[in-house]
Structure 1
Amino acid sequence: MWRQLDSAWRCGGYGTGVVVMLTLYGIIQERIMSEAYDGEFFTSSAFLVFCNRIFGIAFAVGMMMASKESFQNKAPLWKYLLISSSNVLSTWSQYEALKHVSFPVQMLGKSFKMLPVMLWGILISHKRYGWNDWATASSVTWGVTQFLVTGEILSKHADEGSGFYGLCLLFVFLLGDGFTSTFQEKLFKEHTMSKYNQMLYVNSWSAVISAIVIAGADPRPISFCLGHPLAAAHICLLSLAAVAGQFFIYSEVKEFGALVLAMTMNLRQVVSILVSYAIYFHPVNLMQILSLAIVFGSLFLKNYSGLKKSRDREEDAKASPAKSDELRELRPTEIGWEGPCIQVEPAEV
């Protein structure tokens, strides 16, 4: 009984950490990219990526030193670079999109990632998906589409007509993020490595790439931060929230599985959208509210069904040891679960 109570407390603690840290991350992200500092707007998305990755490197190094883990790369460096390239592109696109579309649109648009993840899974890992996966992906896609076409999607200070460009950036984010999560999972399967090893090398390559982008395209973010200390404080807080969010994500998926994490992430999306509406007063209509209900209702139903099915398999395995191999195959990897609707990756932040 005490073990179950302790497990419930830890699960609740990790879940609360994920929701709080990533909601904070989203709110600060929106503040930095869509609100002015003394009449000036911060414009360097690549600098935000760079700062996030530097904090991520420091966290990974600290955890590897604490656990006395080897710093040797466990996979060829070009594989880490491949993940980093798509990760930088997707994260940059995510930040840039906030200049043109509202945070709720950006957050809801992430639900579109199921279809890209499914397609990347088919192309890279030769996965096969059932009718229920396609049905969930279709209903979520329809709900998101309805949300976009039935109401206002622009950010508060965006130019009229820039919404299409913002949606294009979200599309780039979805393609890059879908590839990142799929290839991360493949890397965990093909090479024996810890989550911190992958965090270290992926974040290191990402920092290099984003630094090159800053040097070539926008050398002014540091002077902007020096002139606007509040912006510098927000950027540091954004990076801390991102790293803390990664820690809670990794902890929850390692101890309780990606299905539990997926439900937590769905809750985080709902909370983040509601908080954004409350703080930044984005307009919303009845059809958009209905669309939100369709999207998150489909996701929660899918995740609940998957969680129930996994528990049934665990009970069957306890009753029949011969089924333990089947159960082992269905356990989550360090990056996610086999399935497009519940594949959650720490690379999102």
Structure 2
Amino acid sequence: MENKVGAMGGGRVWMLCMCIAAIYAAYLTQGIVQENVSTTRYGEKQERFEHLIFLNLAQNVVCFIWSLLMLQLWPNKKGTQAPLTAYWSASISNAIGPACGIVALKYISYPAQVLAKSSKMIPVMFLGALVYGVHYTIREYLCTFLVAGGVSLFALFKTHSKVVSKIASPNAPFGYALCFLNLVLDGFTNATQDAVTQRYPKTNAWHIMLGMNLWGSIYMAIYMFGFPSGNGWAAVEFLRQHPKAAWDIFLFCLCGAVGQNFIFLTISRFGALTNTTITTTRKFVSILISSLWNRNPLSFQQWTGVVMVFTGLSYQIYLKWRRKSQHSHSDSKKSPHAVELLKKAK
């Protein structure tokens, strides 16, 4: 019996290590490719790929195909899935939000974009306190102060001229505004997805991935090819003339599909808190790699801002882990009958 338990424990550790390695590999590679697509000048004419929103459409299509294949290989037989119509509203914000984050790379550097998108807790706490009257602890406000102060410090100090020269249209205020809009829309997406999974608890991760990316593909295709401002055909023509750009975008999409797959797997097997810990540390490493790999030097003050942000995020994760541990410990002290009643009450 003990050997069986030990083997199961070893299996979970192996699965967690595989998820961490896959998420890091997928998103670190995607970050490098995304930065290359937004800064590289392709062909003899040294042209930039200006249609960055097309990346969002391409990723939606690839992720939809990936989830369809996963459902064919491992169909869900546990119960009723959520209807595909349940995802239409969340997919609107999920289509617009990431598109804003991608377009922000025209105006700010990749490290600045990653740092701004890491400050999701700021609008969440702001809206929670202002709209819903949520009361936060001093420690939670300290985390928010560190994150907000770090982002502000990073933004206030001048970006190195070498980094600015790679940006298509340097405009820091507009770039940060797009990242903030990305965060707000992500919050709506997450809340809507939670509502769907609560209503249809048997829905698996790949079905959610399928529904979200199906609607996202439809919305983005309508925008890119149905409106003159979408420039979808211009993007296709650019990729036809520059196969290297087409390969970069395919690699970007493939990394996104693999990353989404293992994020959903991590959440389903180990919980959202474990996933948050992995993705937060991954973002810090993304900034470090961007600075070293792409030779994007950051000033001492900007590195101080980066450290402040991830100190605040790390402390917030620690508080959540401790709260979860204390909750589990208090439950373990109760009688089995009391625990069962508590579960039914929830």
Instruction: Give the TM bin, normalised by the shorter chain.
Output: 0.7 to 0.9
What's the CA shift string for 1:96-141, capped at 9, x where partnerless?
A: 11111100000000122212234566799x5845324333223211
Measure the CA separation in 2 of the matches of 1:152 and 1:294.
18
State the SS of the aligned residue for 1:220. helix
User: Please, which of 281, 303, 315 is the counterpart of residue 289 of structure 1?
Assistant: 303
Q: Which residue is equivalent to 1:80?
A: 87
* Cα distance in structure 1, aligned partners of 2:93 and 2:266: 25
Q: Contact 2:56 / 2:98 at 8 angstroms: preserved in 1?
A: yes
The alignment partner of 2:152 has SS state of: helix
> Where do 1:1-349 residues align within 5 Å?
1-38=6-43, 39-69=46-76, 74-75=82-83, 77=85, 79-118=86-125, 128=134, 130-131=136-137, 132-152=139-159, 155-158=164-167, 162-192=171-201, 193-215=203-225, 216=227, 217-218=230-231, 219-320=233-334, 321=336, 322-323=338-339
Indicate the larger mover: 93-102 or 108-117. Answer: 108-117
How far residue 233 of structure 1 moved from its aligned partner, in angstroms, is: 0.8
SS of the residue corresponding to residue 112 of structure 1 reads: coil
Deviation at 1:158, TM superposition (A): 3.0
Note closer, same or farther for the CA distance 1:226–1:7 as it changes in structure 2 (3 Å cut).
Answer: same
Q: Distance in 1 between matches of 2:48 and 2:96?
A: 21
Deviates more, 1:174-183 or 1:157-166: 157-166
One-letter amino acid matched to 1:245: G
- C-alpha distance in 1, partners of 2:287/2:112? 9
CA distance in 2, matches of 1:282, 1:111: 19
What is the CA-CA distance between 1:316 and the residue it aligns to?
3.4
Amino acid of the structure 1 residue aligned with 2:110: F
Confirm or deny: 8 A CA contact 1:117 1:179 kept in the other structure: no
What is the deviation of 1:35? 1.6
Tell me the TM-score normalized by structure 2: 0.86
Stretch of structure 1 that moved more, 241-250 or 304-313: 304-313
Contact 1:111 1:141 in 2 (8 A): no
State whether residues 104 and 276 of structure 1, in contact with CA within 8 Å, keep that contact through their aligned partners in structure 2.
yes
Amino acid of the structure 1 residue aligned with 2:273:
L
Distance in 2 (CA, whole Å) between partners of 1:328 and 1:62 is 37
Q: Work out the CA distance in 1 between the residues paired with 2:251 and 2:345.
A: 39
Give identity over the alignment, percent.
24
* 1:264-305 Cα distance to aligned partner (Å, 9 max, x none): 111101110011001222231111111111111111122123
CA deviations 1:71-99 (Å, max 9, x no partner) are 9872572x522111111111111111111
Report the TM-score when normalising by structure 1: 0.85
Deviation at 1:31, TM superposition (A): 0.7
What is the Cα-based RMSD across aligned positions, in Å?
Answer: 2.7
Contact 1:101 1:158 in 2 (8 A): yes
Q: Which amino acid aligns with 2:307?
A: A
Confirm or deny: 8 A CA contact 2:106 2:170 kept in the other structure. no
Gaps of 5+ in 1: 331-349
Residues 81 and 200 in structure 2, CA contact (< 8 A), matched pair in contact too: no
Is the Cα contact below 8 Å between 2:19 and 2:262 reproduced in 1? yes
CA distance in 1, matches of 2:26, 2:49: 22
Separation in 1 of the partners of 2:103 and 2:340?
A: 47
CA distance in structure 2 between the partners assigned to 1:94 and 1:58 by the alignment:
23
Deviates more, 1:40-49 or 1:154-163: 154-163
One-letter identity of the residue aligned with 1:162 = N
